[in-house]
Amino acid sequence: MKLKSLSIPVLAATALAAAGPVKLLNVSYDPTRELYQDINAAFAKQWKAKTGVVVEIDQSHDGSGKQARAVIDGLQADVVTLGLAYDIDVISEKAGLLAKNWQTRLPNNSAPYTSTVVFLVRKGNPKHIKDWDDLVKPGVAVITPNPKSSGGARWSYLAAWGYALKHNNNDQNKAREFVTKLYKNVPVLDSGARGSTTTFAQRGIGDVLLSWENEAYLALNELGKDKVEVVTPSISILAEPPVSVVDKIAAKHGTTEVAKAYLEFLYSEQGQEIAARNYYRPRLASVAAKHAAQFPKLGLFTIDELFGGWQKAQKKHFDDGGVFDKIYTPGA
Amino acid sequence: MREPARPKNAAGSRTSRFRNSSILPGFWPAFSYTILYLSLIVLIPLSAVFLKSVSSSPEHFWKTISSPQVVASYRLSFGASLVAGLVSVAIGFLVAWVLVRYEFPGKALADALVDLPFALPTAVAGIALTSLYTENGWLGRYLVPLGIKVAFTPLGVVVALTFIGLPFVVRSVQPVLADADQELEEAASSLGASRWQIFSRVIFPLVRPALLTGFALAFARALGEYGSVIFISGNLPMRTEITPVLIVTKLEQYDYAGATAIAVVMLVTSFLLLLGINAVQRRTRKYMEPV
């Protein structure tokens, strides 16, 4: 008697598991936490309506490079949505988990939304920081993480370099001088973007924080407009955080189809709307027009234009013995 | 490890390698378990580090461990740990002395406070110390105008490491002091010894092994410390970057071989230093034995 009554729930549970929800793991970088909470809820609803299948999406967040390493080391990511293309390149290169040409598989370099690097300053902007030039002035303390460990910091570094190039007739030496001077004004190098935001916001260190645009607005909302201000420089870099299905892992889980749909959803009107509400610049013109007031106009250059892509930029600037290391090596 | 079952009579055991002179039976099971445990928990993970480090060419290995930035970080890591260990010994001895020899209200509380750094997540300690010592922190606002910068300097690293290391010294010395026979001091005093002589000839030799143990623990702990230091040091290359930070940076750059190469240097150096400290300790203990 007892055995029978036990076996019924067990059977029921097995049946449920068979038709249970599809699970998807999205491995992302630090500041997208809020964005993907919204996206996941919206996509799950849409997918249920369209196919009748319940999809549960788990998110994992950390520094972009750290996340790429976790995937290489075996984290079962069906999709990756990271801070820079180089980190997904590395997953392809070191672990062979996705095709080399992954970045061409989705529109806009596989980056459904963009961002840029802006400045977060203290209320009233006491040091009068308006543009990149103001960052190298003596007595200005700049907070930015270590570009060797932080994806966001690499965008900031390259933005500064690009600004200097544009203002010095593409003179690489002048640009190097400018960036060296800038880093002499950096009192703390945290390992990641969130760490730097904490240093600036919570611990009150520094006059200006170089930050992702979306992260800057989040900080503004969190800290209040009576504490900090966002300053948009005249020009900056077009940051394109890319997304991709991790082919081999998705195939193993049988989630390729839903993973693809998930990423395509990011390009849809609804997905773009959610991105814009989370302070990411949308690609879709209609959504961009609607949110134009939210995103100040500024000159944007791409990494391909000025640096010949991530692979080259990484090698020249951030690899061991590269330009960034030399900034700190005396006599170099 | 050479004398697995610690014999009561140290002089007799030197002649044979495996002598079981314990009054409790079960030498072999206990010894086997010791080896098994050490292998699983200590030796296998560590040998994995060694194996990974040799996965690259010797040139890469050497280039990594001898680059100026890495060498500067050894100096800071070992230097700051050494200073912090010594400061912990001095202050820890004092704290232990006060806790053992004096009665005062709130003593139980003070005693419990000593252990707090053990329990506190080190990141919390690091953040707290940093906000205390930055220019507009509670202490920093008075220290910085005097020219004493703690946050984002090597001094800050020492402060964080001392915070972490202090309980090790206190907890090593305290029981020894508590057990020390006060009659010895009275006898010395009645024989005409000055206070300094009593301290240097009677008390200090008694606690020296414990102080050494405390120092070794505090020093070793300081070398490996990461969580609290990264907040207070500022992590500026060549100036305030500790070696563990560089290991993490190498990992971030997918340079596993480089990361393990630096780890191997730290491991080997720490092991040699600890071996040295243990040797000194054995000597002092032997010197104590006839008493």
Q: Which residues 162-221 of A have a C-beta within 8 angstroms of B?
A: 186-191, 202-205
Query: Among A38-42, A123-127, B178-182, B191-195, which is the least confidently predicted range?
Result: B178-182
List, for residues A56-90, the tens digit of each pLDDT value.
999 999 888 889 999 999 999 999 999 999 999 99
Is the domain of A108 the same as that of A254? Answer: yes
Any chain A CB within 8 A of the CB of B69? yes
Nearest to B238 among A204, A318, A329 (CB): A329
**Mean pLDDT of the region A19-45:** 91
Burial B166-201 (b: 16+ CB within 10 A, else e): bbbbbbbbbebbeebeeeebeebeeeebeeeebeee
Cβ distance B227 to B122 under 8 Å?
yes
Q: Which sign does the torsion angle of CA A88, A94, A99, A100 carry?
A: positive
Range(s) of the domain holding residue A130? 117-237+302-328
pLDDT at residue B24, rounded to an integer: 73
Query: What mean pLDDT, rounded, does chain B reach?
Result: 87
pLDDT at residue A331, rounded to an integer: 62
Any chain A CB within 8 A of the CB of B131? yes
**Mean pLDDT of the region A16-40:** 85
Mutate to test the interface with B, among A183, A320, A325, A326 (most CBs of B within 10 A): A320
B131 interaction partners in chain A (CB closer than 8 Å):
202-203
Is the domain of A307 the same as that of A176? Answer: yes
Is the domain of A309 the same as that of A188? Answer: yes
From CA B236, how far away is CA B282, in angstroms rounded? Answer: 40
User: Torsions phi, psi of A252, nearest 5?
Assistant: -65, -40
- Helix, strand, or coil (residue B165): helix
Closest-CA residue to A23 (of A249, A242, A243): A249
Nearest CA in chain B to A332: B68
Is the domain of A222 the same as that of A80? Answer: no
Burial B97-120 (b: 16+ CB within 10 A, else e): bebbeeeeeeeeeeeeebeebeeb
- Per domain, the residue ranges of chain B are 1-53, 58-288
Any chain B CB within 8 A of the CB of A40? no
Contact flag B136-A330 (C-beta cutoff 8 Å): no
- Helix, strand, or coil (residue B227): coil
Any chain B CB within 8 A of the CB of A96? no
B69 interaction partners in chain A (CB closer than 8 Å):
325, 328-329
Whether residue B110 is predicted with pLDDT greater than 60 in this model: the reply is: yes
pLDDT at residue B10, rounded to an integer: 45
Which pair of structure tokens corresponds to residue A55? 């999809």
- Write the CA distances from B265 to B56, B74, B227, integer angstroms: 15, 9, 20
Number of alpha helices (DSSP H) and beta strands (DSSP E) in chain B: 15, 0
Give the contacts of B287 (CB within 8 A, at least 6 positions apart). Answer: B205
Is the domain of A249 the same as that of A221? Answer: no
**How close A120 gets to chain B, by Cα (Å)?**
19
- Write the CA distances from B239 to A224, B140, B235, B252, integer angstroms: 35, 20, 8, 20
Any chain A CB within 8 A of the CB of B227? no
Is the domain of A96 the same as that of A189? Answer: no
Is the domain of A182 the same as that of A257? Answer: no
Which pair of structure tokens corresponds to residue A318? 């951030």
Question: What confidence category does residue A167 fall into, taking pLDDT thresholds of 50, 70 and 90?
Answer: very high
Nearest CA in chain A to B248: A149
Is the domain of A89 the same as that of A10? Answer: yes
From CA B92, how far away is CA B210, in angstroms rounded? Answer: 11
Is the domain of A109 the same as that of A121? Answer: no
Nearest to A69 among B64, B67, B251 (CB): B251
- Helix, strand, or coil (residue B57): coil
User: Torsions phi, psi of A113, nearest 5?
Assistant: -140, 160
Any chain A CB within 8 A of the CB of B136? yes
Contact flag A149-B234 (C-beta cutoff 8 Å): no
pLDDT at residue A101, rounded to an integer: 95
List, for residues A104-145, the tens digit of each pLDDT value.
999 999 999 999 999 999 999 999 999 999 999 999 999 999
From CA B151, how far away is CA A180, in angstroms rounded? Answer: 23
Burial A307-321 (b: 16+ CB within 10 A, else e): beebeebbeebbebe
Whether residue A9 is predicted with pLDDT greater than 50 in this model: the reply is: no
- Write the CA distances from B67 to A146, B74, B263, integer angstroms: 18, 11, 14
Number of domains in chain A: 2
Is the domain of A224 the same as that of A306? Answer: yes
**Mean pLDDT of the region B161-171:** 95
pLDDT at residue A96, rounded to an integer: 94
From CA B165, how far away is CA B222, in angstroms rounded? Answer: 7
Closest-CA residue to B274 (of B82, B143, B102, B95): B82
B68 interaction partners in chain A (CB closer than 8 Å):
329
Q: Any idea which fold B58-288 has?
A: MetI-like fold (1.10.3720)
Is the domain of A99 the same as that of A69? Answer: yes
Is the domain of A183 the same as that of A230? Answer: yes
Neighbour tally for A93: CB within 10 Å:
14
Mutate to test the interface with B, among A149, A311, A317, A323 (most CBs of B within 10 A): A149
Any chain A CB within 8 A of the CB of B129? no
Q: What is the CATH number of the domain that holds A323?
A: 3.40.190.10
Question: What confidence category does residue B92 fall into, taking pLDDT thresholds of 50, 70 and 90?
Answer: very high
Q: Which residues pair with A58 in a beta bridge?
A: A25
Cβ distance B161 to B225 under 8 Å?
yes
Nearest CA in chain B to A325: B237
Closest-CA residue to B234 (of A161, A121, A69, A328): A328
Query: What mean pLDDT, rounded, does chain A reach?
Result: 90
Neighbour tally for B27: CB within 10 Å:
15
Establish whether this prediction's ipTM goes over 0.85: no
From CA B214, how far away is CA B202, in angstroms rounded? Answer: 19
List, for residues A281-320, the tens digit of each pLDDT value.
999 999 999 999 999 999 999 999 999 999 999 999 998 8
List, for residues B217-249, the tens digit of each pLDDT value.
999 999 989 989 998 998 888 889 999 999 988
Any chain A CB within 8 A of the CB of B238? yes
Residue whose pair of structure tokens reads 């410390």 in the numeric block: B225
**How close B138 gets to chain A, by Cα (Å)?**
12
A187 interaction partners in chain B (CB closer than 8 Å):
152, 234, 236
Contact flag A69-B254 (C-beta cutoff 8 Å): yes
User: In this complex, how many residue pairs, one in chain A and one in chain B, have their CB atoms less than 8 Å apart?
Assistant: 68
Nearest CA in chain B to A67: B252
Which pair of structure tokens corresponds to residue A98? 């996705």
What letter represents residue B148's amino acid? I
pLDDT at residue A16, rounded to an integer: 42
pLDDT at residue A8, rounded to an integer: 43
